[in-house]
Amino acid sequence: MNSVTLVGRLTTDAEVKTLPNVQIGKFTVACDDGFGKTKKTSFFDVAIFGKGTAVCQYLKKGKEVVIFGRLQQEKWNAQDGSTRMKIGIVATNVQMVGGAGGAGESRPDTNAYRPPTEDSTPNDNTRGPWAGGSIWD
């Protein structure tokens, strides 16, 4: 079973790209592990597809979120001929935690979003709606 749950803070505002076949929302989440001198922070690139990108308008730098999804590994050949590899998170659900944001800021009904079907979430490591590139670019 390929399942991931992360709690962390966004390092930048989420961005959405519209491609011919699909919309892709992308952002990076910083997750802390440990406390004090043993505290370590890991950074994870996250992508969300299709209707799930609607939540991206609320995902601003510093917001705390819970990400539910799966790992996806991609391989590609770099210009120098070497093989590169990256592992990212494909989100099926993103929920904001903590209080409401600043004055006048609205929050979405996070329970309204339903995870996409297998058909709407690309999982082919060599081809996809991004036409030969990486979803993490």
Please write the tens of the pLDDT for every residue from 98-113. Answer: 765 443 344 444 444 4
Domain boundaries, the chain: 4-119
Please write the tens of the pLDDT for every residue from 21-79. Answer: 889 999 999 999 988 889 999 999 999 998 889 999 999 999 999 999 999 998 989 89
The length of the chain is 137
Query: How far apart are alpha carbons 23 and 83 in whole angstroms?
Result: 27
Domain boundaries 4-119, CATH class = mainly beta
